[in-house]
Structure 1
């Protein structure tokens, strides 16, 4: 029976340990598309204050997020189409994405506003908050503000990606 080489075995174990450590230091999350001022941006969905949506999307259910809906809190609207007719519309993004963000109003916390097309209106893509509000004014959509808060950090916009993201 051939004898094993202890040097090779040690090297193989060290390589396996290093690979396991590297894998543990990284995680991959799916990105979702959204619209901001006519441009596609990407965000990750990690937490939401609604149990049904959390189960459906496989993300963290965090009921305490709803407590952020107090006057003056940095929670903006995210215009969500409940039947997934199109991507969500965001009213702000970090500019630029990352540590140099100069937009003090940006927050990854969003209160969901459901956008429903009214009967008889042909759905069309709305690519900005202004377009959503104009469609409401024309009587094309109905907006319903919920008490659902989501944590959706924007990770890619205007050609820039959050550092370390691939």
Structure 2
């Protein structure tokens, strides 16, 4: 049987024979990014953004409904992520899961983040900020401006501050 016919007919059979696990002919790899959480690096992926222009630029799903997670009269489902508008450093997450995975769930963790744009003021001495506390201190001292946006991003942490990773993360 030619390879194209084998692929066409064998693929559905593999799905049936494998039960719930889906094995495909190629592995999908999402670009790994890094951010700071409480002075330690974490890995994450971005899959969805509520803002069209940002989603198009990042090459991810544009999901306007993510903005509903902000609450509008009820509790927000989001945490804050501080993104440096000039790209001078990696983002800073307000928090992260105690450990990724199902064994030790963190009731305060959400992969939905409200984007806060951080900009160094003219004359300020930019430095790497590694925690939300450091970001807020730089704002308090007058070195940094923070613009809270209505943009929500879905960025699940795939490798936590403890170094443990979700299954399938290399």
TM-score over 0.5 (shorter chain): yes
Partner of 2:135: 132
Partner of 2:69: 68
2:153 paired with 1:150: yes
Secondary structure, counterpart of 1:132 in structure 2: helix
2:85 paired with 1:88: no
- Flag the structure with larger Rg: 1
Residue pairs, 1:2-151, within 5 angstroms? 13=6, 17=10, 22-24=23-25, 26-70=27-71, 71-151=74-154
Counterpart CA distance in 2 for 1:142 and 1:84 is 15
Compute the displacement of 1:25 (Å): 7.1
Q: How many correspondences in the alignment?
A: 155
Secondary structure, counterpart of 2:43 in structure 1: strand
Secondary structure, counterpart of 1:86 in structure 2: coil
Structure 1 unaligned blocks of 5 or more: 1-5
Does structure 2 conserve the Cα–Cα contact (< 8 Å) formed by 1:49 and 1:65? yes
- Larger mean CA deviation between 33-42 and 101-110 belongs to 101-110
The TM-score with structure 2 as length reference comes to 0.83
- Larger mean CA deviation between 53-62 and 67-76 belongs to 67-76
Secondary structure, counterpart of 1:93 in structure 2: coil
The TM-score with structure 1 as length reference comes to 0.85
Counterpart CA distance in 2 for 1:165 and 1:104 is 22
Does structure 2 conserve the Cα–Cα contact (< 8 Å) formed by 1:115 and 1:142? yes
Secondary structure, counterpart of 1:53 in structure 2: helix
Counterpart CA distance in 1 for 2:27 and 2:112 is 23
Secondary structure, counterpart of 1:161 in structure 2: coil
2:153 paired with 1:159: no
